[in-house]
Structure 1
Amino acid sequence: MTSPSSPRLALGIATLTLGALAMGASVLFVRQADVGPFASAFWRVALALPVLAAWAALAEGRAAFRPDRTSLLAGAFFAGDLIFWHLAILGTTVANATVLATTSPVWITAFAVLVLRQKVSRAGWCGLGLCILGALALVGRSWQFDPAHLPGDASGLVTAMFFAGYFLAVSRARVSRGAAAVMLVSTAATAAILFAVALLAEPTLWPASAKGAAALVALALVAQVGGQGLMAVGLASVPPAFGALVFFLEVVSAAVLGALLLHEPITALQALGGLLILGGLVVARPRPGEAPPRSRPDQPAEGAATEAGRSAENGH
């Protein structure tokens, strides 16, 4: 999808792609978890914290544990994303919730153009259109309008806006911090918010079986550490407007895994939807020579102490 002359961009796109595919697996683990939706959302981030803390300590040392405003904001946005996603699932059809939640690239592109003053090429707009058509085709005839589902549909739309905020906040935080630090601080903020929500909304936080507990651990490791972590890494090298499109692959991943593991066959229309999304990504791909976003390179472990000292000197 990229020229050999742009290895950093190619690596960033590959990293985002893997992250999107990993995030698409979350629905499988949520279905296997025997706790309520808000409890599963809490465990998704809480169980990821020890792994993220180890990653941050190895990558950046004690400086990684220092909270910063942008990463905390990213965590609050992601908490809102998970909260309203589950409200959408409870208040409307899964198909409606999926369609509306996948409009987040539209909001990200709009913000990038109107606020960040970034230019989106004609190919970029065409790619966005193809990805939206593909997402609609993947949901197929299951999508429907019902006035009784309006509160749930509205929650699905709010979900997309919260994820757009999360995506842009992580991209912004990566300007000054490494991926490990951003993930640790943002996930800790998300866990604190979701803990309060789960206590209020769920009868119990604890899984009732070993299978349910294993599903929650897999949810944390695959979707949060793997999916979100790869996203934070990849955003250092990919323009946000295109990076947002890559996350349409989350819908493709969910459909493929559902067919392989849950015996939910993929229809011809859904297959066409997957091809449209892939086509949209090819059309919208950044061209060689396009400047990647300004970001802080991730530090190796041995450079953590030096970086921490520099940060202290600069008052960051």
Structure 2
Amino acid sequence: MTSPKQIPVTALLALLIGGTAIGFAGIMMRLSDVNPVASAFWRLALAAPLLWIWAWSVKGQDEAAGLRTDFTLPLALAGIYFAGDMGFWHLSLHYTTVSNATLLSNLAPIVIAVWLWLVHRMRFARLFVIGIVTALAGAILLVSPNISFNAASGSGRMFGDGMGFISAVFYAFYQLSIKDARDRYSTARLMAWSSTFSALALLPFALLSDGPFFPLQLNGWLPLIGLALIAQIGGQTVIAYASAHLPASLSSVGLLVQPLIATIAAWMLFGEAVAPVQVMGGALLLFGIYLCKRGS
């Protein structure tokens, strides 16, 4: 078990790298020409075969290390939770800004903290509490110019924000299930099983949603391949590794780097303006992550 005062630097760096990769997921989803749920499905379906090749290639190492290689219910639960996260998040990206959707899906630290407090009676160090409040305040400032409570702005934005918040609930339980299963499975096998179940859970909704299921042009596959390789394999898989060595509460806060990356990328590609208050928010967010590391 990881000592509360000895957080592995490698795992924390892996977490931030994975969060950075996922920060570009919203950009690639916007560039795709399939319906939002279909883009979530293809992200997982295209990644699953590569993950299974990896899982089978390390089967001998898993057995030698005493890790399980069979199927258990937590693997399916992780996949279902992640399917909910991906489905609602991709819908959110379709209706609201990239920064809003990314922030709201990363409110998982609040969900996790409340869950651990209510169910496990877990208590948090004061510095960690200050860090999580700082990080969340920074994340809110980061997207505050894009948040509107004016009904005249249309119901679509509010619907998208609501979908983003729902995705945070699924994301929180996904992180907790990954943390639990990672003690018994290698990263490769865990991601192969969970990605497969996520894709299967999303498939019927992707087929029934409005909009194309398959890309309309050959180059329409490029954003979907990017989602699979960069976001799912290069992002989510690295995060699964990091989650094995970090507390769940710290993992969820560290992933708040995603709104920072998403906001900068959306500004550069889609012209979503970055105001001075957002720069301040990004600085607070990163400082909050640092405090959480010190106080975990």
For Structure 1 versus Structure 2, the TM-score category normalised by the shorter chain is 0.7 to 0.9
> How big is the shift at 1:114?
2.6
Partner of 2:105: 101
Give SS of 1:206's match: coil
Partner of 1:37: 36
Aligned residues: 283
Counterpart Cα distance in 1 of 2:35 and 2:58: 35
Give SS of 1:48's match: helix
Give the counterpart letter for 1:278 in structure 2: L
Long gaps (5+) in structure 2: none
Give the counterpart letter for 1:217 in structure 2: I
Partner of 1:162: 170
Partner of 2:15: 16
Counterpart Cα distance in 2 of 1:108 and 1:77: 14
Q: Is the 8 A contact 1:131 1:277 kept in 2?
A: yes
Counterpart Cα distance in 2 of 1:19 and 1:153: 24
Give the counterpart letter for 1:238 in structure 2: L
Please state if 1:247 is matched with 2:255. yes
Q: Is the 8 A contact 2:99 2:263 kept in 1?
A: no
Partner of 1:305: none
Give the counterpart letter for 1:131 in structure 2: A
C-alpha distance 91-260 of structure 1, shift in aligned 2 (>3 A): closer
- From 200, 221, 225, the equivalent of 1:217 is 225
For residues 73-99 of structure 1, the C-alpha deviation after alignment (integer angstroms, 9 at most, x for no partner) is 011001111222234345556565444
CA RMSD after TM alignment: 2.3
1:1-316 matches, within 5 Å, as: 6=6, 9-61=8-60, 66-90=70-94, 96-146=100-150, 148=155, 151-286=159-294
Give the counterpart letter for 1:172 in structure 2: D
Counterpart Cα distance in 2 of 1:92 and 1:245: 23
Give SS of 2:8's match: helix
Long gaps (5+) in structure 1: 291-316
Give the counterpart letter for 2:191 in structure 1: M
Counterpart Cα distance in 2 of 1:222 and 1:233: 15
For residues 256-304 of structure 1, the C-alpha deviation after alignment (integer angstroms, 9 at most, x for no partner) is 22344445453211111110011101111146xx7xxxxxxxxxxxxxx
Counterpart Cα distance in 1 of 2:211 and 2:69: 32
C-alpha distance 256-94 of structure 1, shift in aligned 2 (>3 A): closer
Give SS of 1:278's match: helix
Give the counterpart letter for 2:9 in structure 1: A
Q: Is the 8 A contact 1:56 1:65 kept in 2?
A: no
Give SS of 2:124's match: coil
C-alpha distance 96-258 of structure 1, shift in aligned 2 (>3 A): closer
Give SS of 1:115's match: helix
Report the TM-score, using the length of structure 1 for normalisation.
Answer: 0.82
Counterpart Cα distance in 1 of 2:239 and 2:100: 25
> How big is the shift at 1:151?
4.7
Q: Identity of aligned pairs, percent? A: 33
Q: Is the 8 A contact 1:38 1:202 kept in 2?
A: no
For residues 193-216 of structure 1, the C-alpha deviation after alignment (integer angstroms, 9 at most, x for no partner) is 111111111443211123211111
Q: Is the 8 A contact 1:44 1:224 kept in 2?
A: yes
Q: Is the 8 A contact 1:112 1:118 kept in 2?
A: yes
C-alpha distance 266-93 of structure 1, shift in aligned 2 (>3 A): closer
Give SS of 1:208's match: coil
Greater shift in the superposed pair: 24-33 or 263-272: 263-272
> How big is the shift at 1:181?
1.0
Report the TM-score, using the length of structure 2 for normalisation.
Answer: 0.87
For residues 16-75 of structure 1, the C-alpha deviation after alignment (integer angstroms, 9 at most, x for no partner) is 111100111101111211111111111000000111112111222597763221121011
> How big is the shift at 1:175?
1.5
> How big is the shift at 1:12?
1.0
Greater shift in the superposed pair: 143-152 or 190-199: 143-152
